[in-house]
Amino acid sequence: SHEKEVEQELPKESIQAEESQSQEEDNENNKETGNEPATDETSAEAQQQEKINKSEEENDQEQVNLDDKQKDQLEEVENKQISEDKCEEQKSEAKEEVDSTLEGAEVKVKEMAMATSC
C-alpha cells in the first residue's frame, strides 16, 4: 500500500513540475520580450493607473491653460490700469494747463480793464 501512495503522489508532482517549468518558460519569454506576465488583475490595475495618469496629465494641462489665461487677464487688467492712470495724468496736466491759461487770461483782462479805465 505504501507503493501506491508514492505512485499517486508522483503524477501530482510531475504535473506541478511541468506547470512550474511552463511558467518559468513564460517568464523567460516575457523577460526577453520585455513583457511582464499579465494577470487580469494586474492588467486591470495597469489600465486603471493609466487612466489616472492620463487624467492627471489632462488636469495638469488644463491647470497650465487656466494659469496662462489668468496671467493674460491679469496683464490685461494691469495694462488697462496703466492706461487709465496715464489718461488721468494727461487730464490733470491738461486741466493745469487750462487753469494757468485762464489765470493768465484773467490777469490780461484785468490789466486791460485797468488800462482802459485810465
The per-residue pLDDT for range 11-20, each reduced to its tens digit, is 555 556 666 6
- Residue 50, pLDDT above cutoff 60: yes
- Residue 10, pLDDT above cutoff 80: no
Distance CA 99, CA 27 (A): 94
Listed by start position, the domains of the chain span: 45-118
At 29 the pLDDT is 66
Task: Give how far Cα 9 sits from Cα of 5, 18, 70, 84, Å.
Answer: 6, 14, 74, 94
pLDDT more than 90, % of the chain: 45
Q: What is the pLDDT of residues 31-42, one digit of tens each?
A: 666 655 555 677
